[in-house]
Amino acid sequence: MGNESTILTSILVLGGIGFACGAMLLVASKFFHVAVDKRVEELIKMMPGANCGVCSFAGCGQFAKAVIEGHARASGCQVLDEEKKKEIASFLGVEYEKGDRLIAVLRCQGGNQEVKRSSDYQGIKSCRAAALFFGGDKACPYGCLGYGDCIRACPFAALSMGEDGLIRIDWEKCTGCGNCAAECPKGMLAMVPQDCRVYVGCASTDRGKRVIQVCKKGCTACKRCEKACPVDAIEVEDYLAKIDYSICNHCGQCADACPTGSIVLTDVDQAKASN
């Protein structure tokens, strides 16, 4: 009887503690309840759900909350397409603001056949790891290492590896989130306006003679692109061509004038030209 009494007492005590805790939680939930704006829940449903963090918030939920509270603009989400942004503007009752859509481009054309190797790297197949090994195994210290860190960082499967050891970007899938650019230890990926027709496919700031010694497609700072541009949108600084997209008229004359092909016509534009 003694043992049975002890077990019963323990059950009653534990049950009482559980009941008391439950009651306290119920009271606390009522007392500390914070009303959630129904618009936040609706806006979250409109978000892409990528949680890429490019908007500077922890995820789509936090971004939606910030938009409702007036701390962020809906146009700050790079993943949303224009139609979705218009839908959100209409939902919020605000004027739609069209922003410049960005895409990623690779600032290197030094593939397996174009660039020399400086060493035989046998370490971890990671760009960050290879970069710690004297800057990588390419003779050009500015070149794409090609181990795919950016591919793994892209939440939209917009990047892949080409047969030449260089990154390929599917601009139809690219949302301009910038995750790939942030992941690259050598700054090989740049974000440019989606409607750009040309970009500089080189990042080397070495003198022309040194560039040619290590890569067939590097910018030699010859300035022919500068002379060819009818609107002065391209300028060579620190031995590297740079394009000012705010005044570029996308004529493509700089790419035609470049002797090494370091200024690239976008694949999108080439596809349009062939149709």
Q: What is the mean pLDDT of residues 95-110?
A: 84
**Alpha helix positions (H), 56-113:** 60-68, 82-92
Structure tokens at 77: 């989400």
Residue % of the chain over a pLDDT of 90: 44
**Would the CA dihedral through 172, 177, 183, 185 be positive or negative?**
positive
Which residue is associated with the tokens 């938009």? 67
Which residue is associated with the tokens 């960050």? 128
Strand pairing report for 240-243 and 234-237: antiparallel
What pLDDT digit, counting tens, does each position of 227-250 carry?
999 999 999 999 999 999 989 998
Q: Is residue 1 over pLDDT 70?
A: no
Q: Are 202 and 219 in contact (CB under 8 A)?
A: yes
Model confidence, pTM: 0.71
Q: Are 233 and 255 in contact (CB under 8 A)?
A: no
Domain 39-92: give its CATH architecture. Orthogonal Bundle (1.10)
Identify the pLDDT of residue 148. 94
Whole-number average pLDDT of the chain: 84
Structure tokens at 192: 């440019």
Identify the pLDDT of residue 274. 36
Higher-pLDDT residue of 84, 31? 84
Q: What is the mean pLDDT of residues 165-189?
A: 92
Identify the pLDDT of residue 202. 95
Higher-pLDDT residue of 195, 258? 258
Confidence of residue 42 (pLDDT cuts 50, 70, 90): confident
Confidence of residue 2 (pLDDT cuts 50, 70, 90): low
65-79, 132-146, 156-170: least confidently modelled range:
65-79
What is the rounded CA–CA span in Å between residue 91 and residue 223?
50
Q: Which helix (H) or strand (E) holds 17?
A: helix 2-31
Q: What is the mean pLDDT of residues 46-67?
A: 79
Q: Is residue 155 over pLDDT 80?
A: yes
Residue % of the chain over a pLDDT of 70: 88
Q: Are 129 and 76 in contact (CB under 8 A)?
A: no
Domain 102-268: give its CATH architecture. 2-Layer Sandwich (3.30)
Give the number of other Cβ atoms within 10 Å of residue 201's Cβ.
25
Q: Is 139 helix (H, G, I), strand (E, B) or coil?
A: coil
Confidence of residue 273 (pLDDT cuts 50, 70, 90): very low
Strand pairing report for 263-265 and 198-200: antiparallel
Residue 151: which residues within 8 A CB-CB, separation 6 or more? 159, 160, 161, 167, 180
Q: Are 110 and 219 in contact (CB under 8 A)?
A: no
Parts of the chain belonging to CATH 1.10.15.40: 39-92
| 117 DSSP β-pair partners | 138
Q: Is residue 262 over pLDDT 90?
A: yes
**Would the CA dihedral through 253, 259, 265, 270 be positive or negative?**
positive
Q: Are 237 and 252 in contact (CB under 8 A)?
A: no
What is the rounded CA–CA span in Å between residue 73 and residue 66?
8
Confidence of residue 200 (pLDDT cuts 50, 70, 90): very high
Structure tokens at 246: 């705010």
Closest by CA to 105, choosing from 205, 203, 185, is 203
Identify the pLDDT of residue 74. 73
Confidence of residue 107 (pLDDT cuts 50, 70, 90): very high
Identify the pLDDT of residue 95. 77
Parts of the chain belonging to CATH 3.30.70.20: 102-268
Higher-pLDDT residue of 78, 213? 213
